[in-house]
Structure 1
């Protein structure tokens, strides 16, 4: 995917990868930690 986008746009200034977790019982704490 990265190579294809790089060819289409000619350059990429920034790439962001984000992942998080969410547990229904402790969602307020996890939102505070992940955001």
Structure 2
């Protein structure tokens, strides 16, 4: 994993629905990687 993905995940965390966990955001992010 790159720092860029973590940075994007952090940005996603800031805008995520409150019921989502950090792990769910990371899994979503990982699913977006081609």
Instruction: Say whether the fold is shared (TM-score over 0.5).
Output: no
Instruction: Give me the TM-score of the superposition, normalised by structure 1.
Output: 0.30
Q: Indicate the structure (1 or 2) with the bigger Cα radius of gyration.
A: 1
Instruction: Give me the TM-score of the superposition, normalised by structure 2.
Output: 0.31
